[in-house]
Structure 1
Amino acid sequence: MNVGFLNINWTDVLDVFLVSILLYQVYILVRGSIASRVFLGYLFVYVFYLVVKGLGLGLLTAILQYFMGVGAVALIVIFQQEIRRFLLIIGKSTIYTNNDFIKRFMGTSVLDVKTKNLKEIVDASKTIASNFNGALIVVNKRDDLGKYIETGELIDSKVSKPLLASLFNQYSELHDGAVIIVDGRLKAARCVLPVADGVDVPSSLGFRHRAAMGMSEATDAVVIVISEQTGKISLAVDGELHGGIPVGEIQSRLEEYLASDKQRLTH
């Protein structure tokens, strides 16, 4: 099919359609963050580069071509969290992660340990909240949280209510930062978490809640965050903060999320 001076066939239409879907998915991943502005700016420059190249402006094309090459490396650095999330989404949609037989065969024992310890975690959270002590408790799902564990003090202990409550006591040297629990083991305390800095993050949120959102955005872990001012317990999943959850439902919400392939909590 000829449209003006263009010769278009069905493969060109399919190519444009697939690229459009890819660009839309990338935009969804970076939407609401500072990286989204960088993405749109780079996309604008790339379109301008194509126009200049099509017009045959050699010098400007060479300059923009060099810029695009350097910019591609810069984008990898800027979008490292978004790229990781994109690959994580792909990984979760594979046959392996969605095969019920394989999950039962490989992951049942680990899941049992996680859910068994949730009561200890929730009971400890209630105690911490009643004492108006702030807390960040990270519970892994599938992601390896090793690089975040290394930022804190290694413990590698069995999870218990007294231990968690004592760690977040205001007089404890380890009460700052987060506790990370992996496969039912309390791996480390006083860990440093990535902080959410998107434009859609409410300015009223404190550093602790921003860290909970940032960690849940960077990984598939669920983060329990307790406000030091109000004593309220919230859950952060997939970069979203869920507050106002009845205390009696916190454990069931956690069990449902950790046992499923969902990336969000049910409301």
Structure 2
Amino acid sequence: MPFADFTIWKYLASIVDIVLVWYVIYKLINVIKGTKAVQLLKGILVILLVRVVSDFLGLQTLSWMMEQVITYGFLAIIIIFQPELRRALEQLGRGRFFSRSSNPVDDNQEKAVEAIIKATDYMAKRRIGALISIERETGMSDYIETGIQLNSTISSELLINIFIPNTPLHDGAVIIQRNNVAAAACYLPLSESPFISKELGTRHRAALGISEVTDSITVVVSEETGNISLTKNGELHRDVNTEGLKELLTSELLINNKTKQTSSARWNWRGKNNG
């Protein structure tokens, strides 16, 4: 019996060990989710895949190169993922690391788009400069941390009030995350493209810069002319009217998302039937 009890305990310890490891990995994924580290993680997976394929095909030089990258890449990973590691340690210290993660699903995207359009139209008519960036697949948590975090329900009144001149939050960008105003007065990277018109100011360069490093959609209102511009995928759409802005935001944020949700639902339905 003692031997049998020891064997059962050993199996139980192994199960607990596996469950804890998977739980820690799951929480780490939640920590880096919504940041640029997700894209870097994909790059690491590509390197590992190339290493396996090169070994399988007998590509010795490529295999040696990938081995060197993996061997000395550990220090590079620490440097690259420094913000995410810091965030994980901060959450661990606050006791939030093992808390339940929030549900990212939100049904208020249509209201958010309407609020952005209404606020943009109001500010454009009165030549109030504005910079509103909307997060999509690529996380913008690194840029949210540069501003004043609000975590407020989005409304046209709130957006207008933020960008009123000479108020504490008007200088910088507002970042919309999961249909909420995540932060205001945020710093966005400026585009270094030589093809940008000289007449465009810092807001337009920031809007184009964030679209070059993320898949976000950014709306700009010029303080000098009151013209509305929109950036996405490194492209600048200038002098967009209210109807054009509504069409672009509806197409990119509502129609595309509904298509993705429909595809996901079909996949889950098929999975359940097959199961």
Rounded to whole Å, the distance in 2 between the matches of 1:113 and 1:225 is: 22
Match of 1:206 among 201, 206, 217: 201
User: Counterpart in 2 of 1:243?
Assistant: 238
Deviations 1:186-239, CA, capped at 9 Å, x for gaps: 000000000000222223321110000001111111000000000011100111
> Shift of residue 177 of structure 1?
0.5
Deviations 1:149-181, CA, capped at 9 Å, x for gaps: 000001000001111101000021110000000
User: Counterpart in 2 of 1:185?
Assistant: 180
Rounded to whole Å, the distance in 2 between the matches of 1:223 and 1:174 is: 18
Structure 1 residue 174 corresponds to structure 2 residue 169: yes
Report runs of 4+ in structure 1 exceeding 6 Å deviation.
none
**What SS does the aligned partner of 1:162 have?**
helix
TM-score (norm 2): 0.54
User: Counterpart in 1 of 2:249?
Assistant: 254
In structure 2, stretches of 5+ residues that fail to align are: 1-68, 81-102, 260-275
Deviations 1:5-51, CA, capped at 9 Å, x for gaps: xxxxxxxxxxxxxxxxxxxxxxxxxxxxxxxxxxxxxxxxxxxxxxx
Matches within 5 A, 1:1-267: 109-110=105-106, 112-259=107-254, 260=256
User: Counterpart in 1 of 2:53?
Assistant: none
Rounded to whole Å, the distance in 1 between the matches of 2:128 and 2:240 is: 18
**What SS does the aligned partner of 2:108 have?**
helix
Number of aligned residues? 162
Percent same amino acid among aligned pairs?
36
User: Counterpart in 1 of 2:83?
Assistant: none
Rounded to whole Å, the distance in 2 between the matches of 1:219 and 1:150 is: 16
Rounded to whole Å, the distance in 2 between the matches of 1:136 and 1:244 is: 15
TM-score (norm 1): 0.56
> Shift of residue 113 of structure 1?
2.2
Rounded to whole Å, the distance in 2 between the matches of 1:120 and 1:246 is: 16
In structure 1, stretches of 5+ residues that fail to align are: 1-68, 81-105, 263-267
